[in-house]
């Protein structure tokens, strides 16, 4: 399994709507919100690194998302499977 910790910077005017949209993305768990700085901390969990990259791209393209930063990444050895 692959995991990525990400920080998402949100548009202040669209904060609540964007958080709601992010909550509907499969393989993404938003677990901390910081309204004053318009940031969210989330984890992407996917069986493959490509799946993880796909979710990252979906988050990046979500209306109201200004920036996504990868903070931590753990990946399994997919070649061993």
Beta bridge partners of 68: 8
**38: closest CA among 17, 53, 23?**
17
Domain boundaries, the chain: 2-80
pLDDT at 7 over 90: yes
Domain 2-80 sits in CATH 3.30.70.920 = yes
Q: pLDDT per residue over 28-48, tens digit each?
A: 999 999 999 999 999 999 999
Question: Is the distance from CB of 45 to CB of 3 less than 8 angstroms?
Answer: yes
Q: What pLDDT is stored for residue 76 in this prediction?
A: 76
Beta bridge partners of 72: 5
Question: Is the distance from CB of 27 to CB of 46 less than 8 angstroms?
Answer: yes
Please list, in sequence order, all residues whose beta carbon lies within 8 angstroms of the beta carbon of residue 36, skipping any fewer than 6 positions away. Answer: none
């Amino acid at each position: 399994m692959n995991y990525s910790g990400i920080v998402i910077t949100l548009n202040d005017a669209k904060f609540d709507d964007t958080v709601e949209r992010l909550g509907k993305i499969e393989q993404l768990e938003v677990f901390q919100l910081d309204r004053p700085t318009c940031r969210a901390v989330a984890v992407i969990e996917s069986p493959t690194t490509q799946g993880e990259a796909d979710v990252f791209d979906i988050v990046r393209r979500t209306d109201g998302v200004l920036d996504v930063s990868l903070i931590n990444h753990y990946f399994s050895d997919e070649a061993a499977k």
